Amino acid sequence: MGLRFGIGRLSAIGAGAALSVALTASAYAQEPVKLGIVSFLTGPAAVPFGVPGRNAAELIIDAINKGSLPAPYNSKGLGGASIEARYVDEAGSTANQVTEYRNLVQRDGVDAVVGYVSSGNCLAVAPVAEEMKTITVLYDCGTPRIFEEDPNHKYVFRVTPTATMDSVGAARYVVDKKGDIKSFSGLNQNYAWGQDSWRDFVLAMKALAPNATVDRELFPKFLAGEYGAEITSLLTSEAELVHSSFYGGDLESFVAQATGRGLSQRKTMIFSCGESAMFRLGNRMPDGTIIGGRGPHGVLARESELNTWFQKEYAARFGTPPTYPSYHMAQSILGLKAAWDKAAAAKNGARPSTDEIIAAFEGLEFDGPSTRISMARANGHQGISETAYGVFKFNKEANRPEVVDIVRYPAECVNPPDGVTSQEWLEGGMKGAKCD
Amino acid sequence: MIERRHILGGSLFAASAVVGPFLPPWLISLLTIAFASALVVLGLIVLWRAGLVSFGQALYYAIGAYTVALFMRWTGIHDAFLAVILAALAAALTAFLVGFLLARYREIFFAMLSLALSMILYGVLVKTEALGSTDGFNVSQPTFLGYAPHGMELSIALYWYALGLGAIAAVLVGAYLRSVAGSLAIPVRDNEIRVEYLGVSATKLIHLKLVIAGTLGGVGGAIGAMAISHVDPNMSYWTTSGGFVFITILAGAGSVAAAFVGAVVFEIVRTMSVALLPGAWQLILGTVLLLTILFLPDGIGSLFMRRRRKAQEAAQ
Amino acid sequence: MLHLVDPENSFVLLALAILTDGLVYAAYLFIVAIGLSLIFGVMKILNVAHGAFYAFGAYCAATAAGMYFDKGLPEAGGFLAMALAALAVGLVLGLLLERTILRFVYGKDEVIIVLVTYAAFLILEDVIIIIWGPSSLSAYQPLIAAGNFMLGPLILSGYDLGLVLLAIFLAIGSFLGLRHTRYGRLLTAVIFDRETAAAFGVNVTLFFTITFIIGAMLGALGGAVMAPKISVTLGIGVEVIVLAFAVVAVGGMGSIEGALVGALIVGLCRAAAVHMLPQVELFVIYAVMAFVLVFRPHGLFTRAQPRKI
């Protein structure tokens, strides 16, 4: 893998350099690329996910059009063509989203779509994308069902790894760091996201810590807001560890109420989506909480020129550091750019066809702002990457939230291999995981 | 007796059918989904004539949709005609059973109980992880008595299918509303006790209307499922019911055609709002509803009715 | 590790937990629903915009808290600032809505009025985004300040106790207000029979305006009071509407006792579900609603309605 990395990087830099030379000569001689961006702009998923995603899209697209990203993305446009973005709100029913997708492709004539936070929308839109023969990059939804249920996909891509990775990473971190766990409880929202996250976590724990038992399994309604009964239940339970895939308003409300009743002093909590709330919560997030970021994003990210650029520019433009939904969007658009540029380079800068872009995208390895992504699953359409978990600590002197004790798990350790569904892999004890 | 408005309505349907294939593709699918809502709204009009507003039609919509989806998934038969018949039967049966309870309620408690029932189905669907919980699952592409279209042809086929079902429903509901049973709706709304003195059971009448509305809701859900190729529990959520009531008010209870016009107008206004103001489209939608209620209190349908009344007055 | 579970007294602990959690949740429901119940009882309007009043109350209170606590003033005043901010915005919104939109639709079908309030709700939700942007605010200071205390083996929040006391205060206050003030007695008359009250010279229109404003202020106050416990963000209004509706439906039309009892029943059932059978928590409120409506079609506490022939 090391050698492939090196060659991959060299050829990427070489291609990038050649491309920059070729493209600056004929800057924007082409028609712009119309890109549809779909994300939650209103509703409860907007503040934690939809808007950070949309902001990242704005930032990255502007930078691509100006050519101001660090290498290897410093060429202007997609294969030299500037991007015209069209933003659509993901709020509304699935029927609305299918209609809006068709509108984007058939009425507005977009060349590609990057979007979707909700797994339900991803599932509904994927077959339509195939029917409309339009490249669609799903940027944030976590369900593994997209490619598991439709093996004949050609136009749909997902750069961001599935949510399976989050639960497996959580289980591994907890087992590595907390050693002998007798039992654990769960507090997850009562809908597909919460149900799937909990089920995956329980299965992963069964494989890694077979003697640990499940204590309380709490499933408050999504957007319940009032968690008094759940907190009492957890306070009076035996298990010291509490897993939660809560996010957004629910997470922040729960933390407020739980801290008020001293839960954090008595239990260790692990929030698989905690990173997205850490800046809004600041010093109200209890020290010692284990948090994840659905990947090694934000404060969990590796240092790189691209990451430094991203964090600086995003904070300057939007007043707050970027969190994982922003990274998911950034890496999705950058992946598309990498594929597009590669396909264009093969044609000496001419506009690549959809099939050529698809061919370039499949199996691609590229750098996102936080880590390297490898499109290594589902015939090269599903990305995998490493993940990271750490412990939250509020730095009082510097007056900012931080994460310490970070552990990274390689991609092949926390993502299921090809040929087996997530569920089967977890139930089979995660056979084939390469964790060294 | 064929009145002028029957000719008008019929030609409207015929024109839509002929023009369909020449419309831009995004509009064809948008209209198909609007027709699905229109069928549910027809049912709401039937109930509204009797003074009842159901905030739980999503129950039948979801039952119709899931029946189609599960039927295709479990039997591998994709025939749209069979699927819609099964959806209608499932919804009708549910409405029949639920009606024993619901027909006794009026006004706000009718609305609340119907809402509660649809939310209970929602809860059941959310808890059923085998059906994908809130993510739902995809519906196979339908076939039409052996004809298996794809892509653009499928869109047009579904459009005609929905239009055809809509036309049949419009004719049947129109006939019902003019029948004795249908006409008794307004007396029931105004003064139930007097209706009972006439020897008619108001409860039985309402029970029948519930079954009609439920069946229409189920057929609407079946079309919806095939048009989006996806079902999820949100189809049973109270905001879905609210959307149907929204369209009903927009359309007005005056005429059957209003259901279709209202549904199409709503869908177009919604999609234009999203395009215009992606971050604040609900503002536009709310304002349109408000203006309609204030200035067109009898709905869009009343625009047609006024002309008819003017014509009648002129004739006298 | 502190062991809070005493195997011998498990049942007592469970009962205590359900009781305390049920009371806290019931207080939450009652505070949130009382404004809606009042408007519903007097004007027969199911005010969907109630969710927007709640959200506006929460946002204004959180903004006020932010401004107040930044100045480092004493904590007790902070809560007062939040309450005042909410009451002010409730007054403004209630007046605005009633005078500019509602009074044009009074004579119409009840459903039309509900839809007008629904339209207002949609508009107001987006106005929140326009004013505050897609952000989330917090006003946690009162929650922390209230601390927590032990009740036997249970750790309870002081703030929750405050909410229970507030709910009791509001309930007693409305009771006494309805029975012993002039406004209250006239209000009762208007609830019972609008026409007769008008015939006796009661200015029904003025009553409607005053009642709607009071209802709006109570809704906004609900939001302010809950703000320290939650994240004040987009969408908090939507959830509250259904909860408030359910409480009102269970309790009966416009009855304060009904709303109280309804809140208690739903609160205790939900607490029981969470502690004993978490799987059914999702259904609880709708199951209770359906159950009560089956046996008491007009809600638990209805006033006898004369039959009109």
pLDDT tens for B254-270 read 778 889 989 999 999 99
C 20-59 residues with CB < 8 A to B: 46
Question: Is A4 a residue whose pLDDT tops 70?
Answer: no
pLDDT above 70 (res A190): yes
User: What's the pLDDT tens digit per position in A321-353?
Assistant: 999 999 999 999 999 999 999 999 999 889 999
- By Cβ distance, the residue of C111, C122, C245 closest to B286 is C122
pLDDT surpassing 50 at residue B129: yes
pLDDT classification of B154: cutoffs 50, 70, 90: very high
Average pLDDT of the segment spanning C206-211: 87
Q: Which of A365-379, C26-40, C195-209 has the highest mean pLDDT?
A: A365-379
Task: Share the mean pLDDT of chain C.
Answer: 86
Residues of A in contact with B230 (CB under 8 A): 94, 98, 120, 123-124
Give per-residue pLDDT as tens, B48-64.
Answer: 888 888 999 999 999 99
In the prediction, which pLDDT does A53 show?
Answer: 97
Chain C 193-222, residues with CB within 8 Å of chain B CB atoms: none
Cβ burial of B294 (10 Å; 0-12, 13-18, 19+) is middle
Angle between helices A228-235 and A248-260 (to 10 degrees): 50
Report the pLDDT averaged over residues B270-296.
87
pLDDT beyond 70 at A9: no
Domains of chain A and any CATH numbers: 2-162+303-384 (3.40.50.2300), 164-293+386-427 (3.40.50.2300)
Cα distance between residue B225 and residue B227, in whole Å: 6
Residue B241 distance to chain C (closest CA, Å)? 13
pLDDT at B313 (0 to 100): 60
Structure tokens at A42: 């209103």
What's the rounded mean pLDDT across residues A257-283?
Answer: 92
pLDDT score of C189 = 82
pLDDT at residue B47, rounded to an integer = 92
Over the stretch A101-153, which tens digit does the pLDDT of each residue have? 999 999 999 999 999 999 999 999 999 999 999 999 999 999 999 999 888 89
Report the pLDDT value the prediction gives residue C2, as an integer from 0 to 100. Answer: 38
Q: For residue A365, list its beta bridge partners.
A: A374
Fold (topology level) of B26-315? ABC transporter involved in vitamin B12 uptake, BtuC (1.10.3470)
Q: What average pLDDT does this structure show over A219-237?
A: 91
Nearest CA in chain B to A102: B26
- The pLDDT score that the predictor gives to residue C307 is 58
Which stretches of A362-430 are DSSP H helices?
A: 411-414, 422-427
Could you give the C-alpha distances from C209 to A210, C33, C39, in angstroms and in order?
65, 19, 10
Portion of chain B with pLDDT greater than 70, in percent: 94
B165 CA to chain C: closest CA distance, Å? 29
> Is residue B312 over pLDDT 80?
no
Please, what sign has the CA dihedral across residues B64, C116, B268, B256? positive
CB atoms C134 and A41 under 8 Å = yes
B42/B46 Cα distance (integer angstroms) = 6
pLDDT of residue B1: 59
Strands (E), A274-399: 290-292, 365-367, 372-377, 382-384, 387-395
What is the predicted pLDDT for the residue at A2? Answer: 40
Enumerate the residues of chain B whose CB falls inside 8 A of the CB of residue C282: 123, 126-127
- Report which listed range, A85-99, C72-86, C140-154, is most confident: A85-99
Residue in the structure block whose two tokens are 């059918």: B17
Do A262 and C153 count as a contact with CB atoms less than 8 A apart?
no
Kindly report, residue by residue over C237-275, the tens digit of the pLDDT.
888 888 888 888 888 766 788 889 989 999 999 999 999
Percent of residues, chain A, with pLDDT higher than 70: 93
CB A144 within 8 A of CB A166: no
Full-model pTM: 0.90
What value of ipTM does the predicted structure carry?
0.90
Tens of pLDDT, residue by residue over A11-54, are 444 444 445 544 444 445 689 999 999 999 998 899 999 999 99
For residue C41, what pLDDT is reported?
81
- pLDDT tens track for A57-81: 999 999 999 999 998 999 999 999 9
Reported as a single tens digit per residue, the pLDDT across C39-80 is 888 888 889 999 999 999 999 999 999 888 878 777 778 888
Please answer whether residues B234 and A94 qualify as being in contact, where contact means their C-beta atoms are separated by less than 8 angstroms: yes
Residue A99 contacts B, CB cutoff 8 Å: yes
Would an 8 Å CB–CB cutoff place B140 in contact with chain A?
A: no
Closest-CA distance, C101 to chain B, in angstroms, reads: 8
Pairwise CB contact (< 8 Å): A256 & C231:
yes
Residue A406 has pLDDT above 90, yes or no: yes
pLDDT at A244 over 60: yes
